[in-house]
Amino acid sequence: MHPALEDWRIRLRRDGYAHFRGLCPEPIIAAARVAIDHDLSTNYDPQREVEYDKRSYCPDLRGTPPVMALLLESGIVAKLDNVIGFDRLGYDGGQIALRRAGNASEPEPPDPHIDGLPTRFNGVSSRVLFTNFTVLVGIYLNPVRTEFAGNFTVWPGSHHILEAHFRERGPEALRNGMPRIPLGQPVQLMTEPGDVVLCHYGLAHTAAANLSAMDRYAVYFRLWLKDLGDRRWHFMTHIWDGWHL
């Protein structure tokens, strides 16, 4: 079957992500870009660059209408409703994620991670092993047409590898952060403004180095089943519980 004809839900379950072309309308993308560029021009503090890079640029924009419209007024709500039930999900105010132009001098190999593991700068408390959620949604605001241009990078199928690893090793598998186990080959996604990528939480991913002359603009939303609660480890080892797949 041609990839374009394959049901996106099959790809999501197998690969851990689904890429939707042009799912977010252009006026919503344009309004978000205007808001982000205005905030960068008026509120950017170079002394906070590490915080911006590891947590979010334009922190005061998080949760505001131009940012939230990317999630709530785009076609991704219908996709999430189909595979989970949107009313069963909580969500954050969005992470404004820039990958600065020329942030590396050579094409460094991408380094995979899953979100919610404590590091020095990401804001996750060192008192916990992990803070997971259910699904990651990325909306892309400018074109990324070559590799090593800040591309969102995924390790297809790594969610299954990590699920099996966590079942075998238990929570101890996260004692030293991201497990260093073979995850297959990374894929750097090419995206256009309005593209949306839906990922399972357990999919290993990262942002590639940006050797291009253009900053990469994206906004990421993290969504979680409202009954995640004290069953967080269960969802690390039974990754499709709560999904309609």
- CA quadruple 8, 13, 17, 23: dihedral positive or negative? positive
Report pTM.
0.95
Best CA proximity match to 136, nearest among 190, 226, 230, 201: 201
CATH number of 21-237: 2.60.120.620
Q: Please tell me the distance from the alpha carbon of residue 40 to that of residue 55, in angstroms, as a whole number.
A: 15
Q: Please tell me the distance from the alpha carbon of residue 119 to that of residue 164, in angstroms, as a whole number.
A: 24
Torsion of CA 46, 51, 52, 54, to 10 degrees: 140
With tokens 């995640």, the residue in question is: 228
pLDDT, one tens digit for every residue, the chain (245 residues): 445 557 999 999 999 999 999 999 999 999 999 999 999 999 999 999 999 999 999 999 999 999 999 999 999 999 999 999 999 999 999 999 999 999 999 999 999 999 998 776 676 667 677 899 999 999 999 999 999 999 999 999 999 999 999 999 999 999 989 999 999 999 999 999 999 999 999 999 999 999 999 999 999 999 999 999 889 999 999 999 999 98
Residues 6+ apart with CB under 8 A from 68: 93, 94
Beta-carbon count within 10 A of 191 CB: 25
How much is the pLDDT for 1? 47
